[in-house]
């Protein structure tokens, strides 16, 4: 009987290494065998898919870019909003009047627009920028020393839109299976192989099947031990640069 593979302990990389080790051994042990060949070919396909997918779930660097761009536009907007709000308390009458005239525009477009869903926030900021682009509003912004500030809000919003478009384009072009999907596919291929090995050792054919099962069992035993140790002592995260 084959030792049970403790799939729940395995990373995709560890399971892929075990599968490839077993596959290469059996290909050499039983070249061209009609029972093994189709199963090993399927396993090879699953292994190749797994190697391509390893780490894919954590390789969404553009998602990080999107979230960073979102934080930047939030900060730009909130700092401008707070600047105008504080200006309404200035003793300088001209400055105070300008901020008081601008404040309703911020209220109209949602003072807490940074809490909206991404697309709604984009629309709200676009609306705010448009409303503050009139000649009168620009004069008020100039009085409040905030013309360039508004441009920063506009630029940061545009950068966010660009980041989301790049991410969408990448996702559309990326046909690689994600880690979880590849792991399920590889596990099914390994289970099929293990089932075939147990069936063949049960009937005692082909010649050498008993030795082959012993060898594969050794691979599984070593891999299980390694996987368990990895779970008990996970690698430390790399320090941030």
Does any domain span residue 240? no
Contacts 24+ apart (CB under 8 A), 43-46: 43/19, 43/189, 43/190, 43/192, 43/193, 45/189, 46/19, 46/182, 46/185, 46/186, 46/188, 46/189, 46/190
CA distance 77 to 157: 9
pLDDT at 96: 97
Distances (CA, A) of 95 to 17, 71, 91, 190: 69, 29, 8, 73
CA distance 17 to 11: 10
User: Do 69 and 165 share a domain, yes or no?
Assistant: yes
> How many structural domains are present in the chain?
2
Q: Burial of 6 by CB count in 10 Å (0-12 exposed, 13-18 middle, 19+ buried)?
A: middle
For residue 154, give the CATH number of its domain. 1.20.1440
DSSP-based helix, strand, coil % in the chain, nearest 5: 80, 0, 20
The helix/strand/coil state of 233 is coil
Structure token pair of residue 100: 């008081």
Q: Which of 136, 155, 173 is the last residue of a domain?
A: 173
User: Do 169 and 190 share a domain, yes or no?
Assistant: no
User: Do 143 and 212 share a domain, yes or no?
Assistant: no
Structure token pair of residue 115: 């809490």
Residue 97: domain span: 61-173
Sign of CA dihedral 211, 214, 218, 219: positive
Tens digit of each residue's pLDDT, the chain (241 residues) = 788 999 888 888 888 899 999 999 999 988 888 888 899 999 888 888 888 777 555 455 566 778 888 899 999 999 999 999 999 999 999 999 999 999 999 999 999 998 888 889 999 999 999 999 999 999 999 999 999 999 999 999 999 998 888 776 665 555 445 677 888 899 999 999 999 999 988 888 888 999 999 999 999 999 999 888 876 644 433 333 2
Smallest CA-to-CA distance from 5 within 181, 176, 197, 182 is with: 197
User: Do 122 and 166 share a domain, yes or no?
Assistant: yes
User: Do 158 and 183 share a domain, yes or no?
Assistant: no
pTM as predicted: 0.51
Does any domain span residue 239? no
Does any domain span residue 134? yes
Does any domain span residue 124? yes
CA distance 164 to 113: 18
Does any domain span residue 147? yes
User: Do 88 and 29 share a domain, yes or no?
Assistant: no
Does any domain span residue 111? yes
CA distance 138 to 131: 10
User: Do 121 and 206 share a domain, yes or no?
Assistant: no
Does any domain span residue 241? no
User: Do 73 and 148 share a domain, yes or no?
Assistant: yes
Does any domain span residue 1? no
Q: Which of 155, 173, 191 is the last residue of a domain?
A: 173
């Amino acid at each position: 009987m084959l030792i049970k593979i403790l799939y729940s302990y395995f990373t995709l990389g560890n399971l892929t290494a075990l599968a490839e080790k077993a596959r290469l051994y059996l290909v050499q042990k039983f070249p061209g065998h009609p029972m093994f060949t189709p199963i090993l070919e399927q396993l090879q396909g699953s292994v190749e898919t797994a190697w391509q997918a390893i780490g894919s779930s954590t390789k969404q660097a553009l998602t990080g870019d999107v979230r960073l761009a979102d934080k930047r536009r939030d900060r730009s907007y909130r700092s401008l909003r707070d600047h105008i709000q504080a200006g309404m308390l200035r003793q300088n009458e001209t400055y105070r009047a300008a901020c008081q005239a601008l404040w309703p525009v911020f209220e109209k477009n949602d003072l807490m627009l940074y809490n909206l869903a991404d697309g709604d926030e984009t629309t709200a900021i676009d609306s705010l920028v448009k409303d503050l682009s009139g000649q009168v509003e620009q004069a008020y912004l100039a009085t409040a020393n905030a013309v360039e500030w508004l441009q920063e809000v506009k630029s940061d919003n545009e950068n966010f839109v660009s980041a989301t478009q790049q991410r969408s384009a990448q996702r559309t072009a990326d046909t690689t299976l994600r880690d979880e999907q590849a792991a399920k596919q590889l596990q099914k291929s390994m289970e099929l192989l293990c089932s075939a090995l147990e069936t063949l050792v049960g009937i005692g054919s082909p010649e050498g099947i008993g030795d082959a099962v012993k060898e594969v069992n050794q691979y599984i035993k070593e891999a299980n031990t390694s996987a368990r140790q990895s779970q008990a002592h996970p690698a430390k995260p790399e320090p941030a640069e």
